[in-house]
Amino acid sequence: MIRSLLLTVAIAFSGTLFSQQLKPVSYQDGKQKLNGLVTSNNGKKLPGVLILPAWKGIDNEAKTAALDLEKEGYIAFIADIYGEGNIPSDNATAAKTAGYYKENFAEYQKRIALALEQLKKHGAIPEKIAIIGYCFGGTGALEAARGKLPAAGFVSIHGGLAKNPMRKNEDLKAKILVEHPADDESVTAEDYHNLVKEMNEGKADWQIITYANSKHTFTNPETADYNPIMAKRAWNHTLLFLKEILK
């Protein structure tokens, strides 16, 4: 009970903090309004990181990542994939909505590309941009690489690794980091094997880091899967990768 109360207070406090330090950005996909967030250092000429959020849309994990990346000298932009009026309110709706974009991957890639343009408009150096994503967003990072979106590298954090088996493996030639929880029940051994095959056939510069004793959402402190030790290691691995490709 006490732990739950403390978490509620912490989330409320963090919401106020985020609203003070992250600037809302509205943009369009045709008639659909999209609402992203950008860090307060926008407008400067700096390396940039596009953040793709999990299946319920922009959440505290994405916002925390953006603020931490700002401290590291990056402009961070959090993409809105679903659009205004389409944010899932529960897991069932999130699964259905995320599933739509996984199946209609070209639409997902388009929404990512639109957010990428916003990041550039807000000061990110075009040649020094990376795309990272959590959960559904981790799937998006891989889709961005498959779609050959113009980024220096891609990070999938506990993302779904599978793609439709009817899709052929194509050239990737991208720098890809996959941060994979060892006990993620949503990823099968076949999914893992097929991704390795895809990256090898696509001639990607890739690596997969597997985190022991970690379930699906191991980096998110608001979930039961949270593993603080492995979450910290994963974040440090992300920063190391970003430093290599962007600085």
Please tell me the predicted confidence (pLDDT) of residue 20. Answer: 63
The contacts of residue 154 (CB under 8 Å, 6+ apart) are 130, 131, 132, 141, 142, 144, 145, 174, 175, 176, 177
Measured between alpha carbons, how far is residue 134 from residues 106, 220, 224, 236, 237 in Å?
19, 9, 16, 15, 14
Cα 185 off chain centre by: 19
Q: What is the pTM of this model?
A: 0.93
Instruction: Report the domain count for the chain.
Output: 1
Q: What is the pLDDT along the chain (247 residues), one digit of tens a residue?
A: 444 444 444 454 455 556 569 999 999 999 999 999 999 999 999 999 999 999 999 999 999 999 999 999 999 999 999 999 999 999 999 999 999 999 999 999 999 999 999 999 999 999 999 999 999 999 999 999 999 999 999 999 999 999 999 999 999 999 999 999 999 999 999 999 999 999 999 999 999 999 999 999 999 999 999 999 999 999 999 999 999 999 9
Residue 51 lies in a domain: yes
Residue 2 lies in a domain: no
How far is it, in rounded angstroms, from Cα 157 to Cα 137? 8
Residue 27 lies in a domain: yes
Domain that holds residue 160: 23-246
- Containing 199, the helix (H) or strand (E) segment is helix 189-201
Measured between alpha carbons, how far is residue 112 from residues 25, 32, 124, 154 in Å?
15, 14, 15, 12
Residue 143 lies in a domain: yes
Please tell me the predicted confidence (pLDDT) of residue 1. Answer: 45
Provide the token pair at 186. 């949503």
Residue 10 lies in a domain: no
Residue 175 lies in a domain: yes
Please tell me the predicted confidence (pLDDT) of residue 2. Answer: 45
Residue 3 lies in a domain: no
**Domain holding 235: CATH number?**
3.40.50.1820
Please tell me the predicted confidence (pLDDT) of residue 18. Answer: 62
Please tell me the predicted confidence (pLDDT) of residue 17. Answer: 58
Q: In 3-state terms, what secondary structure has residue 104?
A: coil
Residue 159 lies in a domain: yes
Closest by CA to 30, choosing from 126, 110, 134, is: 110
Question: What's the chain's length in residues?
Answer: 247
Other Cβ atoms closer than 10 A to 141 = 29
